[in-house]
């Protein structure tokens, strides 16, 4: 199986030993506490689950600035996005060497992790804006990632952490949330030798389904890991529970047994386009995948990125040998009326726009909200049924 990024063995930061975990929980009762923001909490979950291997905790300011600017830490580790704990108010932990990190997304704010504080540093607004421009490629605060990042605060708390739980992800998505360790173990159990990952924050339509099938066939992969984001999204995105139901139904009906693994990870969407695509590759390598499908506007939002910037960054910014995982470059996929199947549009010769079944997201949402199923060439009827029920409930609320 492919090695993790930056080490021979995966080093998740979740405390697996029950007695050690209990001792840390008891210690946390007497420690100064910091209530994390959702972004920092998501980073802790990803660190705990082994997805951010080989990081041992939150980056300091020098590493964050280096990663944003040069895509590597000051020690030279390739990394595409700063993994930070930034807060507005650190008065409660000032001078503390050990602190309890509390979960903002669970009622009662239980302790999510225990942290050894290496440093608390002030990041200037100018430095924050510089990092945001490099991570997101824009300083437009209407961009959901930029707005979130610039609003986190000006205090960077760095140091190693020990993670005690996986926030709400394990309890709310028990059938779907999996750690990088668990996915590696499941790949081995299934006997898969070559694995391709598919990232999604949306329900999967026919084009997505066929893209997974194309990648598997062309790469000679044994299996596909459909890996869905379970954390916070922007307003208007479909909730994880609905996406989960759609994907499970699609796989159940349209894929052969033991060819697809449905899993999810606990992270908040950054909408960082190319940079986030590289982060996706890093943690898919950590979970044991040999390939990541990168399609049009991967991890993008609005019109902030070029259609294939998330592919070209691997050529322009990722040094040779920095990652072992490879990407499968996908074009727009759509149903061809001429060929009666889903194709990559760039590979369809003698086609005009009218030869494809294409619908805008706005049009699809409008149809579903009105109880009208999109054509079967666009969306499987079983999937459309789940989405229609969701949109009709949402429309009834408004």
Tokens 């940079």 found at: 275
Distance CA 262, CA 232 (A): 19
Classify 59 as helix, strand or coil.
Answer: coil
Tell me the torsion sign for CA atoms 170, 197, 6, 273: negative
Residue 45 structure tokens = 């979950």
CA 102 – CA 18 distance, rounded (Å): 19
**8 A C-beta contact, residue 150 and residue 128:** yes
Paired with 226 in beta bridges are 198, 262
Q: If you ran DSSP here, which 8-state letter would residue 354 be given?
A: G
CA distances from 114 to 18, 20, 117, 288 (A): 15, 12, 10, 28
Counts for the chain of helices (H) and strands (E), in that order: 13, 15
- Name the strands in the sheet holding 356-357, side by side, starting at the edge strand that comes first in the sequence: 341-344, 333-336, 356-357
First to last CA, the chain: 49
Which of 164, 38, 37, 53 is closest to 100 using CA atoms?
164
DSSP output for 60-125: -HHHHHHHHHHSB-TT--B-SS----EES--GGGTT-SEEEEEPTTSTT--EEEEEE--EEEEPPH
Active site residues: 201-202
């Amino acid at each position: 199986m492919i090695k993790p990024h930056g080490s021979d063995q995966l080093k998740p930061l979740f405390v697996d030993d029950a007695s050690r975990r209990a001792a840390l929980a008891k210690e946390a009762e007497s420690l100064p506490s910091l209530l994390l923001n959702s972004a920092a909490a998501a980073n802790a979950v990803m660190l705990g689950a082994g997805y951010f291997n080989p990081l041992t905790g939150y980056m300091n300011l020098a590493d964050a600035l280096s990663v944003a600017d040069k895509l590597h830490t000051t020690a030279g580790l390739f990394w595409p996005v700063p993994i930070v704990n930034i807060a507005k108010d650190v008065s409660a932990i000032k001078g503390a060497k050990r602190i309890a990190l509390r979960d903002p997304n669970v009622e009662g704010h239980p302790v999510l992790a225990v942290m050894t504080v290496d440093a608390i540093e002030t990041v200037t607004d100018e430095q924050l804006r510089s990092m945001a421009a490099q991570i997101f490629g824009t300083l437009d605060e209407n961009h959901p990632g930029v707005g979130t990042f610039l609003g986190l605060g000006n205090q960077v708390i760095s140091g190693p952490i020990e993670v005690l739980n996986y926030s709400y992800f394990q309890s709310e998505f028990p059938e779907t949330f999996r750690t990088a360790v668990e996915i590696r173990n499941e790949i081995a159990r299934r006997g898969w030798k070559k694995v391709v990952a598919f990232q999604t924050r949306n329900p999967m339509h026919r084009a997505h389904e066929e893209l997974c099938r194309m990648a598997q066939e062309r790469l000679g992969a044994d299996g596909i890991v459909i890996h869905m984001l379970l954390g916070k999204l922007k307003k208007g995105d479909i909730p994880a529970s609905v996406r989960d139901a759609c994907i499970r139904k699609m796989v159940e009906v349209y894929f052969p047994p033991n060819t697809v693994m449905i899993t999810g990870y606990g992270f908040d969407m950054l909408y960082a386009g190319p940079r986030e695509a590289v982060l996706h590759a890093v943690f898919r390598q950590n979970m044991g995948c040999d390939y990541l499908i990168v399609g049009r506007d991967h991890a993008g939002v609005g019109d902030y990125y070029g259609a294939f910037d998330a592919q070209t960054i691997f050529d322009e910014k990722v040094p040779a040998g920095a990652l072992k995982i490879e990407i499968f470059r996908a074009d727009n996929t759509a149903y061809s009326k001429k060929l009666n199947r889903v194709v990559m549009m760039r590979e369809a010769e003698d086609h005009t726009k009218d030869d494809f079944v294409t619908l805008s997201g706005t049009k699809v949402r409008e149809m579903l909200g009105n109880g009208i199923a999109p054509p079967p060439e666009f969306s499987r009827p079983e999937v459309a049924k789940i989405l229609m029920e969701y949109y009709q409930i949402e429309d009834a609320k408004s």
